[in-house]
Amino acid sequence: MNPISHVAIEAPAREKPRRQWLVYVVLGMVFGIVLVKSEVLSWFRIQEMFRFHAFHMYGIIGSALAVAAGSLAMLEHYRITALDGEPIGLPAKEMGRGYRYWIGGTIFGLGWALTGACPGPLFALIGSGVTVMSLAVVGAIAGTWLYGYLRPMLPH
């Protein structure tokens, strides 16, 4: 076998995952910056939202949703593929009996208001200097593990 053709075939395969890794880190950084600059990661903003005292959080979630829905419609309409040519699609959430969504959702909501953070902001808060949130992250990982353990017994 010719060793040169070997190199030519293997090189791109080795390089691709590394480059992708960086793309997601950079995208994550933009998200982290937005969470700080829009104050979405602030416990105070979440309190304000659940007390209906300001439009700020509703404006953010509402406009994010509108832009996301519009973008999805465009991607679908023009049949745009991912950069590597793969067809784009979001996994469908299975309805089942629906229990998991409203029960799980309500439990999540309790935690959202108590910590003042959903999972993204929970991690962003550590980066922003509220280091005690690392304990909340440990709690969230423990909570997820508990769900995995109890899953066969829970209604879905």
Partner 1 sequence: MEWEWVFQPWPWFVAGPIIGLFVPALLLAGNKPFGIASNLRHLCSAVAPGRVEFFRYDWRARGGWNLSFLCGIVLGAFVAVTWMGSADVAISARTREALTTLGLHDLTGMAPRELFGWPAVLTVKGFVSIVVGGVLVGFGAAYAGGCTSGHAITGLADRQLPSLLAVAGFFAGGLAATHWILPLVFLW
Among 3, 79, 89, 153, binds partner 1 (CB under 8 A): 89
Residue 10 near partner 1 by CB under 8 A: no
Cα 73 from Cα 77, distance rounded (Å): 6
114, two tokens: 């108590």
Exposed/middle/buried for 137, CB within 10 Å: 0-12, 13-18, 19+? Answer: middle
Residue 24 near partner 1 by CB under 8 A: yes
Residue 15 near partner 1 by CB under 8 A: no
Mark residues 30-69: x for contact with partner 1 by CB under 8 A, - for none: xxxxxxxxxxxxxxxxxxxxxx-xxxxx-xxxxxxxxxxx
| Residues 107-146, interacting with partner 1 (CB under 8 A) | 107-120, 122-133, 135-146
Of 39, 55, 51, 34, nearest to 113 by C-alpha is 51
Residue (8 or 71) nearer to partner 1, CB: 71
